[in-house]
Amino acid sequence: MRLSKRLKAITQFVSDNSKIIDIGCDHALLDIYLYQNLKNVSIIASDIHEGAVKQAKKNIEKYNLDGKIDLRLGDGLDVIDNNEVDTIIISGMGFYTIEDILTNPEKMQNINTIIIQSNTDIVKLRKFVIKLGFKIEEEVLVKDKDIIYTVIKFVRGIEKYSYDEIYFGPRILEDKNELFYEYYNKKLLKYENLLLQLPKGQLASKIHHLNLIRIIKKQVSDKKEPTK
């Protein structure tokens, strides 16, 4: 079973012996891979759309895993009882959908790990999940078909973060790689262009963009060019 680079990056953060729900499983390929490659995991694969659940069922049957992966139709955490799960995986959705799903204090009680790849608003996502009582254990940038994604593993705990750590990710800042510089140099260009195009008088927006440009420049300026 071959997974996309994006989904593969998620799998490296999932531990043996965990009780997982993959919310918004769609094709369930991630869940099939996890079942095949981890020890002693229980997996609930769920989706809100019937079509997705049907496709997931076909894939699960194709890999002879019927009855091994528990497939459920429904919205977010509604499909589980309180003690069934300790690990949530959510990938390929926007921040506001993820926020809606995780705003469920009763069902979140026994969750100790959340692994997320959000398609939007990574900074808001970090702030939101930290407020739920989690800290960032691991993070990675991954490039898949020319798009750079961020995958984050949150675990229960308290850790204080600086502004830059919330913006870039504390674990990502500890180990800046080529993708980091590629991603943020592109963002820098985007914000510099946006700044030039801002209509006169938009002072708050101007200050916001100038601030982003300042903090990104600070973080990308330490890149050492290879010596010739």
Ligand X SMILES: C[S@@+](CC[C@H](N)C(=O)[O-])C[C@H]1O[C@@H](n2cnc3c(N)ncnc32)[C@H](O)[C@@H]1O
| Minimum CB distance to ligand X, residue 48 (Å) | 4
Residues 25 and 58 sit within 8 Å (Cβ to Cβ): no
| Minimum CB distance to ligand X, residue 80 (Å) | 11
| Residue nearest to ligand X as judged by C-beta position | 24
Of 15, 13, 81, nearest to 44 by C-alpha is 81
| Minimum CB distance to ligand X, residue 224 (Å) | 35
Q: How far is CA 183 from CA 8, 161, 187, in A?
A: 20, 21, 6
What is the CA angle 33-35-36, rounded to 5? Answer: 65
Nearer to ligand X, 8 or 190 (CB): 8
Nearer to ligand X, 101 or 136 (CB): 101
Dist CA 45 CA 22 (whole Å): 5
Q: Bridge partners of 114?
A: 88, 154
Nearer to ligand X, 48 or 179 (CB): 48
5 is written with which tokens? 């680079």
| Minimum CB distance to ligand X, residue 121 (Å) | 16
| Minimum CB distance to ligand X, residue 79 (Å) | 8
Of 92, 11, 141, nearest to 101 by C-alpha is 92
Nearer to ligand X, 88 or 212 (CB): 88
| Minimum CB distance to ligand X, residue 7 (Å) | 6
Interacting residues with ligand X (CB under 6 A) = 23-26, 46-49, 52, 75-76, 91-93, 97, 101
Nearer to ligand X, 84 or 164 (CB): 84
Of 146, 149, 150, 129, nearest to 138 by C-alpha is 150
Nearer to ligand X, 24 or 169 (CB): 24
Dist CA 93 CA 105 (whole Å): 20
Dist CA 183 CA 125 (whole Å): 18
